[in-house]
Structure 1
Amino acid sequence: MLIQSVFSAMREVFSPALRRILWKSIGLTVALLVLVWLGLTKLLDIFLTNHDLSASYPIVDSLAFFLAGFGLFVALIYLLPAISAIVAGYFLDDVAEVVEHKDYPSDPPGQALPFGKAILYGLRFAGLSILVNLVALLLFFIPGINIGAFFVANAYLLGREYFELAAGRFWSAEDVARLRTEHRGTVLAGGAVVAGLVLVPVLNLITPVFGAVMMVHLHKKLTRGQTGRIAAPRTGVASIEKT
């Protein structure tokens, strides 16, 4: 079930139907990472200027330059789960509509979450992800524990986030929580796949779209035959085109 969903996501994430969304997702992910990095760089510059460390310790300039390059790579890894949460919340309904229409044409279509609610979902998980990954970052220099802590924490967080976003198109919040609990092992394994992708440089930029496609398929497979309990379509929700 999970393996089928993973292969479906691998096949579809670069498909013509999703290519436009993928490029917009990558662009937004890169833009957010650059903004965060510029902010961190500015804070470092202010700190060094105020404390006049470069005058007292000339080597600090060289060290800061090195850390700027190395820090970007570290920031990409540790901030991408949080960035992914925001980007996924923004694009998931667009991705889900394409996948549902293409692969499940006979099923009732899902109802898009209100735009504000989808973003709030993403921000909530982004905040939680930042807190968890700050703890993982403290373990960065402990071999064996650093990657393990990062992977386990994000497997849980990403699995939960993507499943709730995908299932939320069909189910009430209470039913989403029940389904996630009933299938906690599969959802965690799905999160582990997404967390593993986050560790792959460059490819981790496709995490929001890949995770969304995979979890839409996984949700469909997990709830097959349970359509009688799907919540009634939401009303008054306007479709918003992301430009």
Structure 2
Amino acid sequence: MFQDALRAFALTFSRDYRRVLLRSIALAIALLVALGIGAYYALTYFVTLDMPWAQLTLEILSVVGIAIGAVFLVPPVTSLVAGLFLDDVAGQVERSEFLDQTEGTALPVGRSIWLSIKFFGVMVGVNLVALLLLLVPGVNIVVFYIANGYLLGREYFQLAAMRYRSEDEVALVRRHHALGIFMAGLIIAVVVSIPILNLITPVFATIFMVRLHKRFTRSRSYARR
């Protein structure tokens, strides 16, 4: 697994993936900036104070709060971006790393986007809980890694595996490899928690999970869709 993660990390910055990496980073930054600007204007519009110093303090605290909140929004935002670039990345992995195997079938665009939106909603909720626990030392870190490890592992593995299998078959594979997928999710969560580096998550995690799915299903027969 760690070899798959290291290989995925190296490939993420290679020439074959550079274009899609830059596009996914640009889109993730644009979404984060848009959310930040929207939150700032909402706070300063609905909350106004008569005293100039108090208003200035509110604006400064708003900027600081939004910056902290952005850290917790990176996992859901990058998961949303992943749905747009998954098939490009997964197809490249299959063509370059698994030439002797049948290439997967791209998910319909609407299906891929819907899955990403669904996971985006769940992850926003989980990370908001982790943000609310920020004042409880240690607890929020544990919640962040466990929750995101589970959700990121589940999401990226499902998106990668559904190129080959029906949703029911993917659920069966997940049950057989639940611990491995969770551990892989923890690795992705570590990347997500590192500022700047976390912007590579959609490409890195997709490469990682395509390789992991290939390895998990190599020694056991699962029905193809």
What TM-score, normalized by structure 1, do the two folds share?
0.89
SS in 1 for 2:134: coil
Name the counterpart of 1:8: 7
Counterpart in the other structure of 1:176: 170
Moved over 3 A (4+): 225-228
Give, in whole Å, the separation in 2 of the partners of 1:77 and 1:228.
Answer: 38
Greater fraction helix: 2
Q: Please state if 1:67 is matched with 2:23.
A: no
For 1:105-124, list aligned pairs within 5 A: 105-124=99-118
Of the candidates 53, 57, 62, which is equivalent to residue 58 of structure 1?
Answer: 53
Amino acid corresponding to residue 9 of structure 2 in structure 1: M
> Secondary structure at the residue paired with 1:223?
helix
Deviations 1:54-79 (A, max 9, x none): 214733412422430x2343122111
Partner residue, 2:161 = 167
User: How far did residue 105 of structure 1 move?
Assistant: 0.5
- For residue 136 of structure 2, the aligned residue among 122, 142, 149 is 142
Question: CA offset at residue 148 of structure 1?
Answer: 1.0
8 Å Cα contact 2:39/2:66 also seen in 1 = no
| Alignment partner of 1:81 out of 69, 75, 80 | 75
Superposed displacement of residue 119, structure 1: 0.4
| Cα offsets for 1:92-113 (capped at 9, x unmatched) | 1110000000000110000000
Asked if structure 1 preserves the Cα contact closer than 8 Å seen for 2:25 and 2:200, the reply is: yes
1:30 maps to amino acid = I
Quote the residue 1:44 is aligned against: 43
The residue type equivalent to 1:13 in the other structure is T
**Equivalent in 156, 181, 191 of residue 185 of structure 2:** 191
CA deviations on 1:94-148 (whole Å, 9 max, x unpaired) are 1000000000011000000000100001000000001111111110111111111
Aligned to 1:101: 95
RMSD in angstroms over aligned alpha carbons?
Answer: 1.4
Gaps of 5+ in 1: 232-243
Gap runs ≥5 in structure 2: none
Deviates more, 1:221-230 or 1:78-87: 221-230
2:135 is aligned with what amino acid? F
CA deviation after TM superposition for structure 1 residue 84, in Å = 1.4
- Counterpart secondary structure, 2:135: coil
Deviations 1:7-47 (A, max 9, x none): 11111000100000000000010011011111101111112
SS in 2 for 1:108: coil
